[in-house]
Amino acid sequence: MYSALMSTPERLIEATQELLWERGYVGTSPKAIQQRAGAGQGSMYHHFAGKPDLALAAVLRTCAEMRETARRLLDGPGPAYGRVSAYLLRERDVLRGCPVGRLTMDPDVVADEALRAPVDETLGWLRERLAEVLQEGLDQGEFSPAVAPREIAAAVVATVQGGYVLARASGSAAAFDAAVRGLLALLAPHTTPVRPA
């Protein structure tokens, strides 16, 4: 399952990431992690103090991966509307849900400050980065003055996370796609052609 070049700690972290996404914290037992990673108990406890330590490493990695994906789309060239659209329309495994968003629905993660904090920080970072992109567009005259960057950024994150929930509930990605198209349709009338400098 994993590359022979992956170190044991890497395999353990990746296995924990996958299991947290699939089963939640309670369902992610040390035995399941070891089996998924192809690592023995001694190896796991040699690299990590225990399940909470390994879960934190996995949550931090999941959050870092989400940020990197968003950065690739939001920090690129082009108009703000296009970058926000690219973020919203990127390929996703919609029916599997968001690995970070799913953590917010796990009562054990939410109850543990160490596990919850990186999730909250990452979603806060995403709202802030989206707001910055939208503000850039507003400053460059790409959007009408009616555009409120922070509120729209919050709506973008809420649409994505809510879209995952709707898709999983219906068993169809169509609900996610409709939510994204709807948000873009609401934002599009507030865009104005950018004149070359």
The pLDDT confidence band at residue 10, using thresholds 50, 70 and 90, is very high
pTM, two decimal places: 0.90
Backbone angles phi, psi at 106, to 5 degrees: -95, 110
The pLDDT confidence band at residue 67, using thresholds 50, 70 and 90, is very high
Backbone angles phi, psi at 144, to 5 degrees: -70, 160
The pLDDT confidence band at residue 1, using thresholds 50, 70 and 90, is low
Distance CA 1, CA 24 (A): 21
Q: Domains plus CATH for the chain? A: 8-190 (1.10.357.10)
Give tens-digit pLDDT for 121-172.
999 999 999 999 999 999 999 999 999 999 999 999 999 999 999 999 999 9
- The answer to whether residue 44 scores a pLDDT higher than 90 is no
DSSP letters spanning 129-146? HHHHHHHHHHHTTSB-TT
- The answer to whether residue 39 scores a pLDDT higher than 90 is no
- The half-sphere exposure of 106 on its side-chain side, counting CA atoms within 13 A, is 25
Give tens-digit pLDDT for 73-132.
999 899 999 999 999 999 999 999 999 999 999 999 999 999 999 999 999 999 999 999
Task: Report the Cα–Cα distance between both ends of the chain, in Å, rounded.
Answer: 52
DSSP state of 189: G
Residue 3: the pLDDT is 59
What SS3 class is residue 191? strand
